[in-house]
Amino acid sequence: MLDRHEKIQTRAYALWEKMGYPHGADWDHWLEAEKLVDSELLKGFKPKKAPAKPKAKKSGKAA
């Protein structure tokens, strides 16, 4: 499996090709690729549920 950096590099190159090999837009392609790759990686990420907070016990005493 490719690591994040390699995925971004591959995607940025594909964007550069798609745009017709423009000179001087490498950083724009990199940032766009980074957004795309990160959003794809986050789609598969399922955070663990936070444990429920314990409820406070009611005391039987009246005030």
Task: Determine the pLDDT at residue 42.
Answer: 87
Residue 9 lies inside a defined structural domain of this protein:
yes
Residue 33 lies inside a defined structural domain of this protein:
yes
Range of the domain at 13: 4-43
pTM listed for this prediction: 0.64
Residue 17 lies inside a defined structural domain of this protein:
yes
Residue 55 lies inside a defined structural domain of this protein:
no
Residue 63 lies inside a defined structural domain of this protein:
no
Q: Which of 1-10, 35-44, 49-58 has the lowest mean pLDDT?
A: 49-58
Higher per-residue pLDDT: 63 or 52: 52
Task: Please write down the HEC assignment for all residues of the chain.
Answer: CCCHHHHHHHHHHHHHHHCCCCCCCHHHHHHHHHHHHHHHHHHCCCCCCCCCCCCCCCCCCCC
How far is the C-alpha of 33 from the C-alpha of 27, rounded, in Å? 10
Residue 48 lies inside a defined structural domain of this protein:
no
Residue 25 lies inside a defined structural domain of this protein:
yes
